[in-house]
Structure 1
């Protein structure tokens, strides 16, 4: 039986990501890798992470979309001031754009007369197309893999994509389904209620794996079905 390896919330931390794949001895021919989203923002090299993720997908990895990809797409494909500011100013989108070679002047906007900056980058355009086509969840006989969680009283197939990328407490406290839900999005130390950045195994069949690597925590990899955990600390 193939090992399933699950990683989430890489946030531009390309070195940690590559170290973690090595630590887990990932082999595309032997293992099924599943990535739960949030490849971009806040960390140093979103571009390199997306490039790596694209390579891994070609080798058979299953790749999901996170809320940071959702914000990125909205900011870069609409002309909405709110979407731009929400991503660039509040959620680390500036770091993502810097990784594509842009500088502060390139992404500055006039607050009185908003016009989205014109950003010429063939690589960024390719990455946007790649991200737009990503799925929001994977469901197997035993597991649901998703970025943030599921609506407690609905089938995952009936949940809104927005919910799958953004939900928090309602899912953490209210889920009572039969399948084990593996998710990222919310730092595990919040779920543990302590400084523990390791994987969170909830009593209601939920497993949180976001170790808050970009905030000084650790990048986790969960192995299934063994529930073994690999981690790269800061």
Structure 2
């Protein structure tokens, strides 16, 4: 059996979907290379548990990349200002993430759409997870393809790019990428790339880009792509 590279992106706390998808693909760490493209947390119900699972997969050989939601989390919790805190907690689903670590709404002071950072938001599990997230790379590259969370700025290689661009870029990459290597990315739900609110399947751009964010946390689907063969898998919330 030839080795597969399996790519999955934008899990967003949907641990049950991740476990079902890995089972459906027949993932075997002894044979397959799993590449996770970021956004393990926020909005979904089991962010803490998903990160714990991702760390287990990493220990078994998976390549784990950083997404923009991990970036938001670090900005908020690594001494960022009030704007960083509110941007994560109020607007990007961070409050659900912290609740998954056992913090209460009273501790997070989420009231009337505002959020106030409180002293004493400490957890050994959270600190262990933050240390892991701080260590994550922003891309994975082979001779044939590049895996990245959001994309690559036109005219640059992944190595030449600002790591922030690799986890945040959207349209400039979608329309302007013209590199020689195939790029597998998440970040932007494929329904938007397809221009069809009901199509959450992988998106194949004519410029060698493949989007796999099926919008799982937005009632879409969690996709996996076997990069070499092009075989796809997906699961949805039942």
With normalisation by structure 1, the TM-score equals 0.97
Q: Deviations over 1:108-150 (max 9, x none)?
A: 17999x6544212100000000000000001110101000000
Of the three residues 215, 223, 230, the one matched with 1:227 is 230
Q: Deviations over 1:16-74 (max 9, x none)?
A: 00000000000010100000000000000001110000000011000000000000011
Q: Are positions 1:170 and 2:172 aligned together?
A: yes
Aligned length: 234
Cα offset, 1:78, TM superposition: 1.1
Distance 2:231 2:118 in 1: 45
1:38 matched to which residue of 2? 39
Of the three residues 134, 138, 141, the one matched with 1:139 is 141
Distance 1:79 1:220 in 2: 33
Which structure 2 residues correspond to residues 17-166 of structure 1 after superposition, within 5 A? 17-108=18-109, 115-166=117-168
Preserved CA contact (<8 Å) 1:109 1:115: no
Of the three residues 183, 203, 206, the one matched with 1:203 is 206
Distance 1:117 1:45 in 2: 24
Preserved CA contact (<8 Å) 1:109 1:117: no
- Tell me: CA distance 1:118–1:155, structure 2 relative to 1, closer, same or farther (3 Å): same
SS at match of 2:11: coil
Distance 2:230 2:172 in 1: 25
Distance 2:55 2:93 in 1: 21
Q: Are positions 1:192 and 2:187 aligned together?
A: no
Distance 1:115 1:89 in 2: 12
**Residue segments in structure 2 that go unaligned for 5+ positions in a row:** none
SS at match of 1:6: strand
Cα offset, 1:7, TM superposition: 0.2
